[in-house]
Amino acid sequence: MTAQLDFTELRKITGGDEMMESELFQVFLDSAQECLSILRETYGQGAENTWRGQAHAFKGISLAVGAVELGTLCKKAQENHLAPPEEKKKMLAAIEKELAEVEHLVKKEMH
């Protein structure tokens, strides 16, 4: 899987202001790490609603910055919030991998 970033909508919003884009991506990366941390804590049984809520939030922030594949993975996690912990762990691993690739692309693009 290769990370995808679509800067089209973001650049419309920022008017191409690179400083603003950099700040928005930093907010995204910080928020993504927070969502990821909560997903790591809640993939077990008994926390399905928290998992679903965090996956939903993660999906939203991912799509807002153009991280399409990451948003798709988060949508899958949201929709499968009742899956067994083993399945959620696999979804979490895919999200972590994609986020690392997105972070690499963001840093490459912003520098």
Which CATH number is 91's domain given?
1.20.120
The answer as to whether 47 is a domain residue is yes
99-to-18, 76, 82 alpha-carbon distances in Å: 21, 15, 23
pLDDT band of 111, cuts 50, 70, 90: low
The answer as to whether 94 is a domain residue is yes
- Give pTM, 2 decimals: 0.91
Going by C-beta distance under 8 Å and a sequence separation of 6 or more, which residues neighbour residue 8? 66
| Predicted local distance difference test score (pLDDT) of residue 62 | 95
The answer as to whether 35 is a domain residue is yes
Domain that residue 49 falls in: 8-110
- Judge whether residue 1 has pLDDT over 70: no
Tell me how many domains the chain contains. Answer: 1
> Average pLDDT of 73-100?
97
The answer as to whether 1 is a domain residue is no
Instruction: Encode pLDDT of 13-42 as tens digits.
Output: 889 898 998 899 999 999 999 999 999 999
